[in-house]
A = this chain, B = another copy of it.
């Protein structure tokens, strides 16, 4: 038996220590520190957006994005926001916290991203925006979404939390949104342990982000015209993210290498693997997913349990938004069927892609998966 293989392990061999040491030696711990500004500047440039604003994490970046878009464009309460059903709860939750209504669209079979052919069906007079999420490291098919947004005069909120450095037809993910969000969670291509960013090329929008993330303080400090949050990032977190950003191309290459090896090693298993490439992008494999064929009697949960017995950590796929008990209770669900995202949850899971995984570990993991699914 091998030692425990976590789904992710970071490699921190760049300037992380050096930059943290500078934080301590200069006494700059807070959100006014130079690494916060450096990260905002360098990461927004990297993503081809003009401005960035660091946040506590990717979920808070979405809270800010929805709040600021509603505030800037004066959306009414209960305006509708289109979101992929196959997704983490953050975007839906951000809508609800901002008195906006999330409306869900099913996933597409091959890429697991939003099914762009099903977006127009749910557009109403109340629809204000589409949230694009690039699931698991492969971009959504952005062009048809932009066309729809253009046709119906909708804004784009781009959640690129799983797609740092990824491109769609050669253009950076995170550059397509009127506002875009990222996460720098531990397992992301750029990490600060916990952290996030909001990007925009509109100065007004980013000023509003900075306003709402800093408790809506005004020049007359402690007098408030709006309610905000404290969602500021510390200089410590930004220091580490700056160091990680310097190495992002290495990280992406390593991830692509892991993904490519898994494709070779697992090509015979009765399952669909993370899509290798679409005409508009190659997968970056933020995570490497497996969706077991329907005719295999095992659920993802059963396979995951067997893999854990072999010391291999895995994670379940997202549970569809249109089935969430909390959203049912809040009375915001409709009767539309979204079978793909339901199947993805039952049959899907993802396997280790830590940056330090050796070939022999990848072979070990693949062998165990084959044993469970094929023999």
Residues of A within 8 A of B (CB): 9-12, 16-17, 20-21, 23-25, 27, 29-31, 33, 56-60, 63, 88-90, 93, 96-97, 185-186, 191-195, 215-216, 220-237, 240, 315-319, 324-327, 329, 345
Given contacts A29-B240, A236-B193, A237-B236, contact A93 B227 (CB under 8 A): yes
Alpha-carbon distance between A236 and B357 when the two chains are bound, in angstroms: 24
Q: Is the CB of A24 within 8 A of B20?
A: yes
Q: What are 7 A-B pairs at a CB distance below 8 A?
A: A17-B21, A56-B230, A59-B230, A192-B236, A222-B316, A223-B325, A236-B236
Contact B222 A89 (CB under 8 A): yes
Q: Please indicate which of the listed interface residues A9, A195, A232 has the most CB atoms of chain B within 10 Å of its own CB.
A: A232
Given the known interface contacts A56-B56, A229-B60, A326-B216, the answer about A234 and B33 at a Cβ–Cβ threshold of 8 Å is: no
Which residue of the partner chain, among B195, B215, B327, contacts A59 with CB atoms under 8 Å?
A: B215
CB within 8 A of A237: which of B216, B234, B326? Answer: B234
Chain B residues, Cβ within 8 Å of A57? 56, 230, 232
**Contact of B324 with A186 in the complex, beta carbons under 8 Å:** no
Copies in the complex: 2
> Shortest 8 CB-CB distances between A and B: which pairs?
A193-B234, A29-B193, A30-B186, A59-B230, A222-B319, A194-B234, A56-B56, A20-B20
Distance between A353 CB and nearest chain B CB, rounded to angstroms: 15
Known: A63-B229, A222-B345. 20 other contacts (CB 8 A): A11-B27, A16-B24, A17-B20, A20-B24, A23-B193, A29-B186, A56-B231, A89-B222, A93-B227, A96-B227, A97-B97, A97-B227, A193-B236, A194-B230, A195-B234, A216-B326, A222-B316, A223-B325, A227-B326, A236-B240
Distance of A8 from chain B, by nearest CB (Å): 10
